[in-house]
């Protein structure tokens, strides 16, 4: 049985841990709110842009748009979004395992493009072909950088190095759970851009003055759509990371509380035992004197 002193020391350390987990939970909660806020702020831009592109694709079609061209897939690029920091439960393991399984299931050669330190260290150790890795986002959405990544990905697609670029990331399903998700970033699907709305009236023909011509306009707008799509994915993934960390810290906090309860009980028992022992000794001593 550990001594009273040891027990007290352990209790103190668990109490400290509890405070840390509580602080980390609050930080994660506020970061999550901030990240989700970004999404809300970007929403008007995306809605408008999507409507504009949908109208354009609807009226001029997808010919002559390299970003919309489906090619025979010879090489795939998988963009894996993990986190830079740990202490967020199974968040990183989930996405790494999913990406690895998917990678191995592919018949075509493939490479990875990594966001997040965690996935990077794992895949570097496994000797997987990595095109590029960003390992210092720290869960903060740096918009210009995300846009630069989008441009780099576009370049990789257009230069013919890769015929399909897919995003692999965690997505929150509700406040408690998240799941890995995979979606194709490039080539863009034209039916995704111009969804056939049922029951609605026909899309009104665009009676605009175009500058330059609609084809070139579309060519200029599609990369923007792509950038935004990537931005949203990154925002979602990071928000999910903070959510996962919040969950993990809540659980850790609860565990601390349980530990504190049981330690306090043990301390009290040990204290009582030592008092009883002292009394017995005194009584024993007094009896011996008589």
Partner 1 sequence: MANTYPFRVISQEETLFEGRVESIIAPAWEGYVGVMANHAPYLSLLQEGELTVTENRDSVHVFKVNGGVLEVSGGEAVILTESISRI
- Active-site residue set: 88
Please, what is the minimum distance in Å from the beta carbon of residue 208 to partner 1? Answer: 5
Instruction: Pick one of 133, 188, 231, 247: the residue that binds partner 1 (CB under 8 A).
Output: 231
Q: How far apart are CA 119 and CA 233, in angstroms?
A: 17
Q: How far apart are CA 97 and CA 115, in angstroms?
A: 15
**Phi-psi bin for 254: left (phi > 0), alpha (psi -120 to 50), beta?**
alpha
Please, what is the minimum distance in Å from the beta carbon of residue 46 to partner 1? Answer: 8
- 89-97, 194-202, 208-216, 254-262 -> range binding partner 1 (CB under 8 A): 208-216
Q: Is 201 in the site for partner 1 (CB under 8 A)?
A: no
Structure tokens, 252: 């850790």
Q: How far apart are CA 230 and CA 150, in angstroms?
A: 7
Please, what is the minimum distance in Å from the beta carbon of residue 111 to partner 1? Answer: 27
Q: Is 211 in the site for partner 1 (CB under 8 A)?
A: yes
DSSP reduced 3-state for 196:
coil
- 18-26, 79-87, 112-120, 200-208 -> range binding partner 1 (CB under 8 A): 200-208
Q: Is 217 in the site for partner 1 (CB under 8 A)?
A: yes
| Contact mark string toward partner 1, 131..150, x via CB under 8 A | ------------x---x---
Instruction: Pick one of 5, 44, 199, 201: the residue that binds partner 1 (CB under 8 A).
Output: 44
β-pairing, 130-134 vs 164-172, is: unpaired
Instruction: Pick one of 48, 179, 269, 277: the residue that binds partner 1 (CB under 8 A).
Output: 48
Q: Which is nearer to partner 1, 86 or 220 (CB)?
A: 220
91-105 and 117-125 helices, crossing angle to 10°: 40
Instruction: Pick one of 4, 29, 49, 135: the residue that binds partner 1 (CB under 8 A).
Output: 49
- Applying CB under 8 A, the site for partner 1 has a residue count of 26
Name which of 145, 229, 128 is nearest 187 in CA terms.
229
β-pairing, 110-115 vs 76-81, is: parallel
Q: Which is nearer to partner 1, 131 or 221 (CB)?
A: 221
Q: How far apart are CA 241 and CA 247, in angstroms?
A: 10
Helix (H) or strand (E) holding 71: none
Please, what is the minimum distance in Å from the beta carbon of residue 61 to partner 1? Answer: 17
Q: Which is nearer to partner 1, 49 or 135 (CB)?
A: 49
What angle (nearest 5°) sits at the alpha carbon of residue 202, between those of residues 196 and 204? 115
Q: How far apart are CA 109 and CA 271, in angstroms?
A: 67
Q: Is 209 in the site for partner 1 (CB under 8 A)?
A: yes
The residues facing 164 across adjacent strands are: 76
Residues that bind partner 1 (CB under 8 A): 38, 41-42, 44-46, 48-49, 52, 143, 147, 206-212, 216-217, 220-221, 224, 227-228, 231
């Amino acid at each position: 049985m550990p001594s009273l002193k040891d027990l007290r020391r352990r209790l103190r350390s668990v109490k400290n841990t509890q405070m840390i987990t509580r602080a980390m939970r609050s930080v994660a909660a506020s970061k999550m709110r901030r990240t989700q806020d970004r999404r809300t702020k970007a929403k008007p831009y995306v809605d408008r842009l999507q409507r504009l592109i949908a109208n354009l694709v609807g009226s001029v079609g997808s010919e002559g748009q390299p970003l919309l061209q489906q090619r025979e897939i010879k090489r795939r690029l998988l963009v894996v979004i993990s986190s830079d920091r740990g202490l967020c439960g199974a968040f990183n393991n989930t996405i790494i395992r999913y990406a690895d399984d998917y990678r191995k299931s592919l018949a075509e050669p493939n490479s990875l493009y990594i966001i997040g330190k965690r996935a990077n260290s794992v895949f570097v150790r496994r000797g997987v072909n990595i095109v590029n890795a960003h390992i210092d986002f720290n869960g903060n959405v740096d918009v210009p950088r995300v846009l630069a990544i989008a441009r780099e990905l576009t370049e990789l697609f257009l230069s013919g190095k890769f015929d399909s670029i897919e995003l692999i990331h965690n997505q929150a399903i509700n406040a408690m759970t998240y799941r890995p998700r995979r979606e194709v970033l490039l080539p863009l699907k034209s039916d995704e851009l111009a969804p056939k709305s049922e029951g609605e009236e026909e899309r009104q023909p665009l009676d605009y003055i175009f500058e330059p011509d609609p084809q070139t306009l579309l060519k200029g707008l599609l990369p923007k759509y792509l950038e935004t799509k990537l931005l949203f994915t990154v925002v979602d993934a990071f928000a999910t990371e903070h959510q996962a960390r919040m969950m993990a810290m809540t659980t850790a906090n609860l565990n601390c509380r349980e530990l504190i309860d049981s330690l306090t009980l043990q301390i009290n028992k040990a204290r009582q035992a030592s008092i009883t022992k002292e009394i017995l000794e005194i009584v024993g001593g007094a009896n011996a004197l008589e």
